[in-house]
Amino acid sequence: MLRVLGSTKRFCNGMTRRDALWAGGLFGLGLSDPLTSNLTAAEPVREKHFGRAKACILLFLYGSPSQLEFADMKPDAPVEIKGELNGIRSSLPGCDVCELLPYTAKVMHETTVLRSLTHKYPIHGVAYATTGVPEIDVPMELNPRDGRHWPYIGSVISYLEQHKRARKPVPDNIFLPWQMSSRRTGEVQRAGPYAAYLGAAYNPHFTEFVGEATAEITKKLGQTTQTFKEPYVGIRSDARFTLGDATTLPAEVTVDRLDGRKSLLQQIDDGRRLRDSGFDRHRDMAWSMIGNNQIRDALDIGREPLGLRESYGMTVFGQGALAARRLVEAGSRFVTVFWDEFGLAGSGWDTHAEHYPRMKNELMPGFDRGYSGLIADLKQRGMLDDTLVLVLSEHGRTPKLNKAWGGGRDHWSQAYTALLAGGGTARGRVVGKTDATGGTVLDGPVSPKDLLATVYHLLGYDLETVIRDKTNRPQAIIPGGSVATELLA
């Protein structure tokens, strides 16, 4: 497997690019500081796909779909492995997809299918899948404040963009439809999309979903059975996303009064500069978003024609994907649409039981419309070439069905599937191969760190770039990860 490991180019003073970036991280210098100011001039010739993507939309399916009912079907396997669903031909020759994905089948020629994702942690390690953390365990998974965590990819991108000192009307790290784990029972908050040692100022901007679900789903967890109105199955057309009160100016506060308050705060700051840069960034972002028509308009999916909205599926996932397209169109660099647990823990794509009923009635239809609608819309608008779309989960599911009611597949991380489209990735390619049961990678293994490294590369971030941890030590943005060149155009 070919890997892009970075440049060893030396500057005229004998310092390597790696040395300069490392020293910059060690002494707290940004990419535009004197020590590293000559990096741009001395930049080596890049591959055509480096920096090809202007933005990334991450579609994360929490709980993890089965690779065997996604895009790595095994029609010749025994029934206890292949299950009860059949494949259908897709627009990508040689890559059948599940029969529950008829719309996705039509856009597979725009997609690279990665069948050989693999790692050793079959737990709900969102943090492992989306950060540079070298290892994960259950206590970390259940505690976002565990000091061992590393920052979320969107937080790193926000940090790097902030250090370019470029002001943007729309934030670079937005997370839809709501804060992870906030819409299900239980007090435990799962880890993953947080800034860790970069500080809370670089956490994602979590939106809020305001709307009514139109379908009911009965869910089970242990001895608990409850019925919920499920937004991942259907929502009313007047549903919307907001950033809470961040983009709304109270009626009693005029723009003149707002400017007066800002002026007063500036005077206070002139006399006593705050030392907490994280607090300063929170305050600056708050000021920039209050009354900000651009971010409010970008989140206003009601501005789109009803027919286009319906092509994404009238679900919280589909409409979140539409909002993500509008946000990157407005200038956001990284947007996450997260398929979360809802109502009960152990929901989402975590199908230990009722695997087939949930795939048919709750999960696959919403994903099918959301993914296909996004790819087709980006293509029609001429945005797919420079927008990277990544469909990812924390692991896969067991090749062999368990004996639970409705069938079930348990956690499995030895082999699973991801989808990539646009932004410099190949079009219509299958990468990697698994065995006859879909349980072991036979060719082209790719780790989650390799996949993240590929995203950074496509967005134009050198893998030798360093950030500083809470002890002020320089850390690579994705240690242990290498660019998976076989995914690239």
- Segment 47-63 mean pLDDT: 94
Q: What is the pLDDT of residue 166?
A: 64
Q: Where are the domains of the chain?
A: 1-45, 46-248+291-349+374-402+427-487
Report helix, strand and coil shares of the chain as percent, to nearest 5: 30, 20, 50
Instruction: Choose between 256 and 398: higher pLDDT.
Output: 398
Q: What is the pLDDT of residue 292?
A: 64
Q: What is the pLDDT of residue 294?
A: 87
pLDDT at 278 over 70: no
Contact between 364 and 103 (Cβ < 8 Å) = no
Q: How far apart are CA 54 and CA 308, in angstroms?
A: 23
- Segment 4-26 mean pLDDT: 42
Q: Residue 284: which H helix or E strand, with range?
A: helix 277-289
Q: Which two tokens stand for residue 58?
A: 């991450």
Q: What is the pLDDT of residue 35?
A: 34
pLDDT at 185 over 90: no
Give 186-224 pLDDT, tens digit per residue.
777 899 999 999 999 999 999 999 999 999 999 888 888
Instruction: Choose between 61 and 39: higher pLDDT.
Output: 61
Q: What is the pLDDT of residue 470?
A: 85
Q: What is the pLDDT of residue 220?
A: 85
Taking CA 33 as the corner, what is the angle to CA 32 and CA 35, rounded to the nearest 5 degrees? 120
Note if the bond before 357 is cis, omega within 30 degrees.
no
Q: What is the pLDDT of residue 6?
A: 44
Single-letter amino acid code for the residue at 452: L
Q: What sign results for the dihedral spanned by CA atoms 367, 370, 372, 374?
A: negative
Give 225-260 pLDDT, tens digit per residue.
899 999 999 999 999 999 865 444 444 444 454 344
Contact between 232 and 201 (Cβ < 8 Å) = no
- Segment 341-357 mean pLDDT: 94
| pTM score, whole prediction | 0.85
Give 404-434 pLDDT, tens digit per residue.
988 899 999 999 999 999 999 999 999 999 9
Q: Which two tokens stand for residue 110?
A: 């725009």
pLDDT at 73 over 90: yes
pLDDT tier at 87, thresholds 50, 70, 90: very high
pLDDT tier at 289, thresholds 50, 70, 90: low
What share of the chain in percent tops pLDDT 70?
80
Q: What is the pLDDT of residue 255?
A: 43
User: pLDDT averaged over the chain?
Assistant: 85
Q: Which residues contact 122 (CB under 8 A, 6 or more apart)?
A: 395, 411, 412, 413, 414
- Segment 450-477 mean pLDDT: 95
Q: How far apart are CA 201 and CA 479, in angstroms?
A: 23
Q: How far apart are CA 249 and CA 10, in angstroms?
A: 52
Which segments of 330-427 does DSSP mark as H helices, in order?
355-358, 364-380
pLDDT tier at 12, thresholds 50, 70, 90: very low
State which of 16-25, 116-125, 267-276, 284-293 shows the largest mean pLDDT.
116-125
Phi-psi region of 280 (alpha: psi -120 to 50; beta: other; left: phi over 0): alpha
